[in-house]
Amino acid sequence: MMTDKRQNFQPGIVGKLRAEVNPDFILDGDLDQGYHCYWLRVQYEDTDAGAIVYHAQYLAFAERARSAWLRCLGIDQVTMLATDEMGFVVRRIEIDFQLPARLGDVLEVESSLSRLGGASLKLHQKIINRENRHILARLVVDIVLVTFSRGAGLHPAKSKICRLPAAVKAKFSGLAKPG
């Protein structure tokens, strides 16, 4: 019989958690006092031949965290795209790589809103090694809301920047932190 080497592992605990906890809560991270934390483990697919995270993956990690942040705020991007034909897109991104992440590392992506405009958001994100708390990368992301022309599909050339609807803007109320 195989034994599980994870500390404090209790057989059946996953089943209990599955019944008691909404998986969205676990998958989407935590939003507290305007800061969103999203956790992930570096997988083999994220790394290069030296088991170091490939630089483009940091952008993917940050994108996942931003999507999870919106879900935590109650903003459903799938419905926005399908029903309202609008969505958030990255207009500009700046990344400062500081230290490498490695295969198996547990990372935390911390996101905070630093500016809310009429049609745009500015976010600051940090990718942190969960074990030693070293900051691996810092990102500044400008996001705009765009609307897609009816019948044109989600074609970028047919999109136009639009103002945040009042209901969406209200979800961001009080979250802005100085950059």
Tens digit of pLDDT per residue, the chain (179 long)?
444 445 555 555 555 555 565 666 678 999 998 899 999 999 999 999 999 999 999 999 999 999 999 999 999 999 998 888 899 999 999 999 999 999 999 999 999 999 999 999 999 999 999 999 999 999 999 999 999 866 655 566 678 899 999 999 999 988 887 76
Name the residue among 128, 78, 136 with its Cα closest to residue 107. Answer: 128
Which CATH number is 28-171's, of 3.30.565.10, 2.40.50.180, 3.10.129.10, 3.40.50.720? 3.10.129.10
Q: What is the CA radius of gyration of the chain?
A: 19
Cβ–Cβ under 8 Å, residues 86 and 104: no
Cβ–Cβ under 8 Å, residues 61 and 37: no
- Residues annotated as catalytic are 48
Cβ–Cβ under 8 Å, residues 127 and 101: yes
Name the residue among 148, 95, 91 with its Cα closest to residue 121. Answer: 91
The predicted model scores a pTM of: 0.83
Q: Where are the domains of the chain?
A: 28-171
